[in-house]
Amino acid sequence: MYDIGFQNLSRMMMSGKPIKVLILDTQVYSNTGGQACTSGFTGQVSDMAQFGKNFQGKEEVRKEIALIAMATAPLTWLRQYLESYPPHRKLHRRHQAKRPALFNVYSPACGARIADDLAEHQSKLAVESRAYPLVRYNPDKGNLPEECFDLDGNPSLETDWPNTRSNTPTSKAKKAA
């Protein structure tokens, strides 16, 4: 949906029709073995984003699908969240708005060179570092963007920098090696 399906996604968001789209954002093209894609961050290392003396990973900037969805206001309802954050798991099931809705879910995968047993931890780090914020945009909440926009669930909203401490677990695969 970030790349080859983006034209269709854009049309859906502008249609005003009550179509719901769920994107599992793995940050790579998972169907091709982990190639870099526009949902990944600058500097990402993957099959098609080399890293070394002359290349420092993915060069292009990430396509912020949440910002693009909010730009279609007042048409599109948006929720960006992580499957690993329990309070946000059921939101797409109970969504009833009679408008286009986009659910963008960060879902780290092995194609992004993240061990399966570290995916949940990686998700939490993405939110805590503010690389992948939890976002809700509900055009039914008001006429102004600030009335519709909600960052509830993100840590340290009142500070310039996140204030969390994390112990990085070691992958079981690394322990076994």
Tell me which of 78 and 126 has the higher pLDDT: 78
pLDDT at 38 over 70: no
Rounded to an integer, what distance in angstroms lies between the CA atom of residue 136 and that of residue 139? 10
Q: Mean pLDDT: which of 85-89, 119-123, 130-134 is highest?
A: 130-134
Start-end of H helices in the chain? 6-15, 65-71, 119-128, 145-148, 172-176
pTM: 0.75
Delimit the domains of the chain by residue range.
6-176
pLDDT at position 166 is 58
Output DSSP code: residue 102: E
pLDDT band at 100 (very low <50, low <70, confident <90, very high): very high
Rounded to an integer, what distance in angstroms lies between the CA atom of residue 104 and that of residue 134? 10
Pick the CATH number of 6-176 from 3.40.640.10, 2.30.42.10, 3.40.50.970, 2.30.38.10: 3.40.50.970
pLDDT at position 169 is 59
pLDDT at position 14 is 92
